[in-house]
Amino acid sequence: MELKIAVCDDEDEQRRYLSEIISDWARENCHGLRLRQYPDAKAFFFDYEEQKDFDILLLDVEMPGMSGTELAKTVRKENTAVQIIFVTGYYEYFSDGFDVSALHYLIKPVDGDKLCPVLEKAVQNLAGRQRSVLVSTQEGKIKIPLADILYVEAEKAYVNVHTVQGSRRTRMTFGKFAEQLDDTFFRVHRSYIAGLKHISKITRAEIIMTNGDVIPVSRGLYNEVHAALIRYL
């Protein structure tokens, strides 16, 4: 598996040490690796705003400026797939991880026997999730897990991607975006593609999504959509 991992820690020696463990682990397990090191949240976000495609984040809890937990909360607002691992010297920060669905807390000093099993768990979680699509928006490029997409809506030269976190708009043809989706999605109308897992109710005229949104069903597609939904369930 190709992995992009960030190590964010204000201590130079700690960053290098963790990076060495990660590099050795990736090599031993035949994982492709793109590893980035950052001394603080500001440096991390400089890169993250351009390419929001990190798979695993190792974050020091206590850093100058923005803390590791604050950084994680900001990332988690738009990315539910990234695996977050906190590194700290204090047990009292454990409760902060619940707010961002952190994978694990590691207490310093960290060694390979502690870190490598957590990295293995992160890889399992990533493999268990559906793949993601990378879309360009006014806020920059955003990685959206397919599992989070409720439905997709065509709007002239744009595509509106409605997700469990909110909606994103990207300039792309509807057909081009559809090529990135898998068989958990179904084109229910000339301008709509629905995520089968997020359909709450279907009639011959409309579909009600799990968030309450209502989208149309083409008259001649009801039976096909219904059959696809049955197969998915």
Predicted model pTM: 0.59
Q: Which fold has domain 132-232?
A: OB fold (Dihydrolipoamide Acetyltransferase, E2P) (2.40.50)
Q: What is the pLDDT of residues 47-71, one digit of tens each?
A: 888 777 789 999 999 888 898 989 9
Q: Which of 35-44, 142-151, 172-181 has the lowest mean pLDDT?
A: 142-151
Domain ranges (residues) in the chain: 2-128, 132-232
Q: What is the pLDDT of residues 134-161, one digit of tens each?
A: 888 888 888 888 888 999 999 999 999 9
Element (H, E) at 57: strand 56-60
Give the pLDDT band (50/70/90) at residue 101: confident
Q: Which residues contact 63 (CB under 8 A, 6 or more apart)?
A: 8, 9, 10, 40, 41, 71
Q: Evaluate if residue 97 carries a pLDDT over 80.
A: no
Q: Are 107 and 89 a contacting pair, CB within 8 Å?
A: yes
- Mean pLDDT of the region 211-226: 95
Strand order in the sheet with 199-202: 199-202, 206-209, 214-216
Q: What is the CATH number of domain 2-128?
A: 3.40.50.2300
177 token code pair? 């975006």
Residue 210 CA, chain-centre distance (Å), reads 20
Q: Evaluate if residue 230 carries a pLDDT over 70.
A: yes
Give the pLDDT band (50/70/90) at residue 227: very high
Q: Which residues contact 73 (CB under 8 A, 6 or more apart)?
A: 99, 100
Task: Choose between 87 and 143: higher pLDDT.
Answer: 87
Please report the pLDDT score of residue 141 as a whole number.
Answer: 85
Task: Choose between 192 and 108: higher pLDDT.
Answer: 192
